[in-house]
Amino acid sequence: MNAHSIDTEKITADLLPQKFGRAGKIWTVLLVLICVNGLFAYYQQLTKGLVVTGMRDYASWGIYISNFVFFVAISLVGSLITAIFRLTNVEWRTPLTRISEIIAVSAILFASIIIIVDMGRPDRFYNLFFFARLQSPIMWDVIVITTYLTLSILFLYFPLLADLPILIRTSRKGTWLHKMYSFLGSGWIGSRAQRMLSEKAVKIISIMIVPIALSIHTVTSWLFATTYRPGWDSTNFGAYFVSGAFLVGGGGVLVAMYVFRHAYRLEAYITDKHFDRMGRIVVMLALLYLYFNVNEYLVPAFKMKTAEAHHLMSLFTGEFSVLFWSAILFGMIIPVIVLLFPQGRKPKVAFVMGIFVVVGAWFKRFLIVTPTMLSPFLPIYDVPDSYRHYWPTYDEWSITLASLAGALLIVTLFVRYFPIIPIHETIEEKEAVQSHSV
Amino acid sequence: MKKIISRITWGGLLYALAALPLHAQDKKEKGTLRLEVAYDQKNDDLPVIRVVARAKVKKKFKPVAGVAVNVFLDHENAEGFLGQVETRADGTNHVPLTPAAAKYWRDHHHFTFIAAVTNNENYEDASAQIDISKARIELLVNEKDSTRTLTAKVLAHNDTAWVPVPGAEVKFVAKRYFSDLPVGGNAVATDDQGLATADYKLTLPGDAEGKIFVAAKLDENETYGTIQTTVPVKWGTPVPPDHLFAQRTLWATRDKTPLWLLIFPNLIIVTVWGFIFYLVYLIVKIRNLGKTTS
């Protein structure tokens, strides 16, 4: 009994949010500076217009939209780890659920922000709601993003309820932190009735969030697939996008697992076993995404229709070829080969492979969006040379990097004030294992 | 020492070789440009002046884009300057008359239009001119006993009055989207009265009332340029307009959303958000339970 209570206290102490160390402070300041720089660039864009970007008549979707697709993609990890693993009763999921859920919330939040950044007249954003046309896939995207964001926040909140009394107890009374914990967790006493309601809510969300998550990325893919253009005119796009989204989500979790384990010394909770299992999942997802890539590129390339040829050749051997083959190689093939071996699924190597997957996925989104815009069915004709190519400007890079930094800042601040591994659930699990072994 | 001299010699040689094409480029010969100037006038409106630039490429004259052409009326000086245009990808472009030139055109009956290219980087100076006498076409349409005829009367101004032009080749056409459809075969020469007649035997789709446009034109006539007169006639087959935009379609306005698109997505939205509100209700219930128990 004594050993049991010591164990509980140790788990609580291990998993409670900790103040930033030196590295944490530098990291946070760096993210804030990138955000401020991005805000200034956005101010420039607001005052001077979209002319400050590299986008012109043909490449009217650039890195803002590819960044949007990336955010939507990585947000799917919330449904993969939290919901699908919960429904399929994957017992090792507990330390990864909150990590994946906060990634999902921050990513989907910035997906909705970056889409406004891409608008030439953001002051008219409200028109989307007041004059909504249900015929437009853009409207479908607005609806599913809002729904997914709300559900993801609820999915983060319900499992957090059981940890809030611990946070209230361990924080200093009178501080703003204590007040915030008290507000969020007021009323939770862990009674049987409350636990039943909470479990019921989690079960409802787990079931609901899977189709919503699938539809959010399918609808995003339809923004492209419902447009008659080379490279987008595909019936396969929904499945292609969803498989890619699960892959980048898996890669993102591998990276986050390693960073949190290393920064907060969570080796006892995020173990080699977790890296091993997540590594296997990433292999499966990468192979699946590779399969869809073969379908998306090999089949049109086999036919090489005149209208598609310019787009395909720009990817295979043209101006985007280095980026294209790098994204395929580093974002899919190398992670599959490395993670296939047990040594490749060790934390450090898996972390590097996770970075490969995430960075490769970001550029892959760019390759889906922009080369198509530069390969219209009607030839580009009688336009300035700058219209024929696209390269993001300094302002565009600043805003895009700020959005990525903003998403990371949300994750960073969340980890600062909330336990990144569920404390109560971990204790319950340990108790269950102990009682089972006894 | 020998080594150094050898290196300097080789270096110099390589530099000379590398520089050779640059010098060759400096002395590049300018190409020869062939300019054409044409006069287009429709329905007694002000004419526009069309210029065409061609250059010899592989023994063939091909249209040249991006050549700045100056266009003048009667005098190749500032007074007669109509404007400068840059040729497009098909080697052509148009110049409208300036207000002063328009007044001059109304008051006079014989003109010379001049197109000139000077100080071009790639081409030698070139010019072309066209002498035009003012003319017009009156187009009469006639329908009698299901026989439809078009009669054109070509008139030219002889400085005192409009007089008929005999022997002018008139083309009769029906206006379609992308080109003119000939009516009654080849061009018809005008008689001593300046009249030319053609039978209309086409069956063409028109608008809701069967309206189409027919025209008579002198096509690049040496004396009068290109002159055209167009009139509407109800000789087409009436085609009811397509009112798909006014129906419930995917491309209609928001108030005409297809019913299936209104019903099913809204059912899904209401169901999903119903559950979300239920989840919020559960939060409130959990809070209330805690407060009651404590």
Return per-residue pLDDT of chain A as tens, 438 residues.
Answer: 444 555 788 899 999 999 999 999 999 999 999 999 999 999 999 999 999 999 998 999 999 999 999 999 999 987 778 889 888 888 899 999 999 999 999 999 999 999 999 998 899 888 888 888 999 998 999 999 999 999 999 999 999 999 999 999 999 998 999 999 999 987 898 899 999 999 999 999 999 999 999 999 999 999 999 989 999 999 999 999 999 999 999 999 999 999 999 999 999 999 999 999 999 999 999 999 999 999 999 999 999 998 899 999 999 999 999 999 999 999 999 999 999 999 999 999 999 999 999 999 999 999 999 999 999 988 887 788 888 999 999 999 999 999 999 999 999 999 999 999 999 989 988 888 777 766
Q: Name the nearest CA neighbour of B170 among B183, B158, B188, B157.
A: B188
Indicate whether A138 belongs to any domain. Answer: yes
- Non-local (6+) Cβ contacts of A312 within 8 A are A230, A231, A297, A300, A301, A304
Q: Which H or E element spans position A127? A: helix A127-130
- pLDDT band (50, 70, 90) for residue B14: low
Indicate whether B289 belongs to any domain. Answer: no
Distance from CA of A133 to the nearest CA of B (A): 5
Residues B219 and B196 in one domain: yes
Inspect the interface and report whether the beta carbons of A197 and B293 lie closer than 8 Å. Answer: no
Residues B141 and B185 in one domain: yes
Residues of A in contact with B276 (CB under 8 A): 147, 150-151, 154
Residues B143 and B227 in one domain: yes
Mean pLDDT value across chain B: 89
Distance from CA of A79 to the nearest CA of B (A): 16
Indicate whether B26 belongs to any domain. Answer: no
Choose the closest CB to A208 out of B253, B275, B294. B275
Span B265-293, average pLDDT: 93
Indicate whether B70 belongs to any domain. Answer: yes
Distance from CA of A219 to the nearest CA of B (A): 13
Question: Nearest residue of A to residue B250 by CA position?
Answer: A135
Instruction: Concatenate the DSSP letters of all residues of B207-276 into one string.
Output: STT--EEEEEEEEEETTTEEEEEEEEES-SBP-----GGGSS-TTS-GGG--HHHHHHHHHHHHHHHHHH
For position B217, which CATH number holds?
Answer: 2.60.40.10
Indicate whether B8 belongs to any domain. Answer: no
Inspect the interface and report whether the beta carbons of A194 and B289 lie closer than 8 Å. Answer: yes
Question: Nearest residue of A to residue B291 by CA position?
Answer: A187
Last residue of a domain, one of B133, B153, B173: B133
Residues B74 and B121 in one domain: yes
Indicate whether A195 belongs to any domain. Answer: yes
Question: Nearest residue of B to residue A209 by CA position?
Answer: B272
Residues B120 and B44 in one domain: yes
Span B12-17, average pLDDT: 57
d(CA B102, CA B46): 7
d(CA B233, CA B280): 69
Q: Name the nearest CA neighbour of A90 among A429, A338, A348, A344.
A: A429
State the Rg of chain B over Cα. 35
Q: Name the nearest CA neighbour of A370 among A49, A45, A58.
A: A58
Residues of A in contact with B267 (CB under 8 A): none
Residues B76 and B98 in one domain: yes
Which residues in B have their CB inside 8 Å of a CB on A? 65, 88-89, 250-254, 257-258, 261-262, 265, 269, 272-273, 275-276, 278-280, 282-283, 285-291, 293-294
- A vs B, Cβ pairs < 8 A, gives 75
d(CA B174, CA B168): 20
Please report the pLDDT score of residue B22 as a whole number. Answer: 47
**CB-based contact, A191 to chain B, within 8 Å:** yes
Inspect the interface and report whether the beta carbons of B262 and A134 lie closer than 8 Å. Answer: yes
ipTM for the whole complex: 0.90
Q: Which H or E element spans position A322? A: helix A321-328
d(CA A177, CA B57): 79
Inspect the interface and report whether the beta carbons of A147 and B294 lie closer than 8 Å. Answer: no
Helix A394-417 vs helix A94-117: crossing angle, to nearest 10: 150
Inspect the interface and report whether the beta carbons of A205 and B279 lie closer than 8 Å. Answer: yes
Choose the closest CB to B254 out of A131, A197, A200. A131
Distance from CA of A421 to the nearest CA of B (A): 22
* Token pair in block for residue A230: 């080379």
Q: SS3 of B198, please?
A: strand
Residues B147 and B127 in one domain: no
d(CA A386, CA A392): 12
Last residue of a domain, one of B106, B133, B160: B133
Nearest 5°: CA angle at A309, between A303 and A314? 135
Indicate the length of chain A as a whole number.
438
| Dihedral (CA of B180, B186, B188, B189) sign | positive
Q: Name the nearest CA neighbour of B226 among B167, B171, B175, B161.
A: B171
Residues B129 and B141 in one domain: no
Indicate whether A414 belongs to any domain. Answer: no
Please report the pLDDT score of residue A307 as a whole number. Answer: 81
**CB-based contact, A326 to chain B, within 8 Å:** no
Residue window 158-187, chain A: list those with CB within 8 Å of chain B. Answer: 158, 161, 186-187
Question: Nearest residue of A to residue B284 by CA position?
Answer: A187
Indicate whether B182 belongs to any domain. Answer: yes
Cβ neighbours, 10 Å, residue A284: 15
Q: What domain range includes position B207?
A: 135-233
For position A152, which CATH number holds?
Answer: 1.20.1630.10
pLDDT in tens, B150-167: 999 999 998 889 999 999
Last residue of a domain, one of B76, B106, B133: B133
Indicate whether B118 belongs to any domain. Answer: yes
State the Rg of chain A over Cα. 23
Taking a C-beta distance cutoff of 8 angstroms, is the pair A116, A42 a contact?
Answer: no
State the total domains in chain A: 1
Strands B225-233 and B33-42 turn out to be parallel
Indicate whether B1 belongs to any domain. Answer: no
State the total domains in chain B: 3
Residues B48 and B104 in one domain: yes
Residues of A in contact with B288 (CB under 8 A): 187
**Between B254 and B10, whose confidence is greater?**
B254
Indicate whether A172 belongs to any domain. Answer: yes
Q: B290 pLDDT exceeds 80?
A: yes
d(CA A152, CA A213): 10
Q: B26 pLDDT exceeds 90?
A: no
Q: Name the nearest CA neighbour of B174 among B254, B243, B112, B233.
A: B233
Amino acid identity of residue A4, one-letter, is H
Span B94-117, average pLDDT: 94
Indicate whether B161 belongs to any domain. Answer: yes
Distance from CA of B125 to the nearest CA of A (A): 25
Taking a C-beta distance cutoff of 8 angstroms, is the pair A166, B270 a contact?
Answer: no
Span B36-54, average pLDDT: 94
Please report the pLDDT score of residue A378 as a whole number. Answer: 86
Residues of A in contact with B279 (CB under 8 A): 154, 158, 201, 204-205
Chosen from A134, A146, A150 to mutate, greatest number of chain B CBs within 10 A:
A134
Residues B141 and B129 in one domain: no
Residue window 196-225, chain A: list those with CB within 8 Å of chain B. Answer: 197-198, 200-201, 204-205, 208, 212
For position B105, which CATH number holds?
Answer: 2.60.40.1940
Q: SS3 of B181, please?
A: strand
d(CA A137, CA A219): 7
Question: Nearest residue of B to residue A129 by CA position?
Answer: B254
Distance from CA of A220 to the nearest CA of B (A): 16
Distance from CA of A177 to the nearest CA of B (A): 19
Choose the closest CB to B290 out of A154, A187, A205. A187
Distance from CA of A189 to the nearest CA of B (A): 6
Q: What domain range includes position A95?
A: 54-392
Choose the closest CB to A197 out of B89, B253, B285. B285
d(CA A242, CA A214): 7
Question: Nearest residue of A to residue B288 by CA position?
Answer: A187
Q: What is the DSSP letter of B36?
A: E
Chosen from B253, B279, B282 to mutate, greatest number of chain A CBs within 10 A:
B279
Residues of A in contact with B265 (CB under 8 A): 134, 140, 143
Choose the closest CB to B287 out of A140, A158, A187. A187
Residues of A in contact with B282 (CB under 8 A): 197-198, 200-201
Q: Helices in chain B by DSSP H: which ranges?
A: 2-26, 99-107, 259-293
